[in-house]
């Protein structure tokens, strides 16, 4: 099942209790990025939907230390 541009999204939620990041995406370029990055591999990628053998939506979890929010914030 492919998602059109209006339906595509990437959702990132921080779980403070378990100190981990939960990701969901159906954006093709993000799926490629997260599944091909060998530096910080997700613990387990779950393919939620696919079309012709290609993942069209996935979810996975990363530990807290894998994401640095300071890199997203521009300091002046």
Q: Would 2 be classed as within a structural domain? A: no
Q: Would 72 be classed as within a structural domain? A: no
Domain that holds residue 45: 10-65
Q: Which of 35, 25, 28 is nearest to 52 (CA)?
A: 28
Alpha-carbon gap, residue 76 to 20, rounded angstroms: 29
Residue 41 — very low, low, confident or very high, per pLDDT cuts 50/70/90?
low
Q: How many domains does the chain have?
A: 1
pTM of the entire predicted model: 0.78
pLDDT, tens digit (0-9, with 9 covering 90-100), for 1-30: 788 788 899 999 999 999 999 999 999 999
42 contacts 24 by C-beta, under 8 angstroms = no
Q: Would 60 be classed as within a structural domain? A: yes
Alpha-carbon gap, residue 3 to 67, rounded angstroms: 27
Q: Would 33 be classed as within a structural domain? A: yes
Q: Which of 65, 67, 42, 68 is nearest to 55 (CA)?
A: 42
Q: Would 1 be classed as within a structural domain? A: no
State yes or no: pLDDT of 49 exceeds 60: yes
Identify the residue whose tokens are 């939960």.
22
Give the mean pLDDT of 50-54.
92
């Amino acid at each position: 099942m492919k998602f059109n541009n209006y339906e595509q999204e990437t959702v990132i939620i921080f779980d403070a209790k378990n100190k981990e990041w939960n990701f969901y995406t159906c954006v093709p370029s993000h799926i490629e990025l997260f599944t091909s990055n060998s530096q910080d591999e997700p613990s387990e990628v779950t393919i939620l939907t696919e079309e012709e053998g290609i993942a069209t939506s996935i979810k996975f979890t990363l530990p807290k230390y894998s994401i640095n929010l300071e890199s997203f914030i521009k300091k002046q």
